[in-house]
Amino acid sequence: MTKLEQLMRQIIKHGPISKKELQERTGVSWGTVSGLITQLVEDRFVVPSVRQTSDVGRKAEEFDVNSADHLCIGIDLSQCGLLGVVTDLRGRIVMKREQIFQTPEKEEVLQEIFKMTDAFLEAFSDKTVWGIGFSVQGIVEIYEGVSVLISGIKDWENVPLKDIMKDRYGLQTYTEHDPNCAMLAERFVGCLKNRQVTEATLLTFNPMFGAGISIMTRGQICHGIRGRAGEVGCNPVDITKDGTWHHLEDYLSANGLLEAYRSRTGKTLTYEEFVRLLEQGDDHCTAIYQQLGRYFGFALSIANNYLNPEVIILNIDGVQQKILYDEISRIVKAVSFDPEVQIIISKALSEMKAIGAAMIISEKAVATL
């Protein structure tokens, strides 16, 4: 890592920050810090600002990421639609767009991706856009940049997003599984931003999309040999009398929740009806959610035992998050070898996965310095 990259990473994480603080954090000499800061300002990566100190009349010059000139595109792609952002290198949003799919099929989805990207590039045609990051639901081959499958999008199989976007726009493009993008966003702009945490596990769950786990170890996302680490939905949870294995994904989807309700009551509901009953405190719906929380708790306990993270982050969408949080916390504390792990709630903004995708581009950009 060059000294220039080292300084830029500190400004991204801790800015606005003074030269003195940069010197203390990096160990780089004062003269070198001053020279490199001048270079970063001239290249418009950072901008100076002035902070009033506690001493009357004294002012300290600080430096922050320039939000006007060096930008990243992040797009969160799911079966329901797109959420796209343009951010600075620090993950701060300067533009946001959303699009719900009317008829989710491959060609429509690609056209909506092009339309969103065109709008971003037109809006910032005079700026440096470093690339496009995709947070992708479903099965992703991250190294090849291929979206293998997104359930709910017709004909969406083995779509080479990386090649399609690079050929069309000439920009570097990267794909990542959506839980890992959520982890990156937590690290840069979320609940880990001001914490010196290098070991963390994140559970992301939405009844419409399913669940996934992201693992950060030594400050880096753990991908595994094919980029598929963290497939929590594949965890076996029980076996029926006929020898059939059931996995967590059989229970955590909207359809799984509705089937559990039908099995308990003999009644058929829509998902909207299930949600309404859950919000009203219906005993059956509450019991189903508690059972789901226990399944997640066991899965996270296994991850806690294997990985020994400092923090478990719960990025949970949907209703009655507290039911899941309480059950997960109870199980993890009860059966983990190290029950002292901290369990915290994600910032869980709707833009988090798109921001995480943009931060992949930021990381690549900074690595060129």
Which residues make Cβ contacts (< 8 Å) with residue 43, sequence separation at least 6? none
Count Cβ atoms within 10 A of the Cβ of residue 338 and give its class: 0-12 exposed, 13-18 middle, 19 or more buried. exposed
Q: What pTM did the predictor assign? A: 0.90
State whether CATH 1.20.1640.10 applies to domain 3-65. no
State whether CATH 3.30.420.40 applies to domain 194-345. yes
Alpha helices in 254-318 (DSSP H): 254-265, 271-279, 283-307
For 85-98, letters b (16+ CB in 10 Å) and e give: bbbbbbbbbbebbe
Domains 70-183+352-366 and 194-345 share a fold: yes
Predicted pLDDT at 239: 75
Identify the CA nearest to 140 among candidates 229, 240, 13, 69: 229
Q: What class, spelled out in words, does domain 70-183+352-366 have in CATH?
A: alpha beta
- Which DSSP string corresponds to 182-224? HHHHHHHTSTTTTS----EEEEEEETTTEEEEEEEETTEE---
Whole-number Å distance between alpha carbons of 36 and 17: 14
Predicted pLDDT at 69: 94
Whole-number Å distance between alpha carbons of 184 and 186: 5
Identify the CA nearest to 251 among candidates 273, 229, 270, 236: 236
Per-residue pLDDT of the chain (369 residues; tens, 9 = 90+): 899 999 999 999 888 999 999 999 999 999 999 999 999 999 999 999 866 555 555 567 899 999 999 999 999 999 999 999 999 999 999 999 999 998 899 999 999 999 999 999 999 999 999 999 999 998 899 999 999 999 889 999 999 999 999 999 999 999 999 999 999 999 999 999 888 899 999 999 888 778 899 999 999 999 988 888 888 888 787 777 777 887 888 778 888 899 999 999 999 999 899 999 999 999 999 999 999 999 999 999 999 999 999 999 999 876 678 899 999 999 999 988 888 899 998 876 789 999 999 999 999 999 998
Predicted pLDDT at 253: 82
Domain ranges, ordered by start, for the chain: 3-65, 70-183+352-366, 194-345
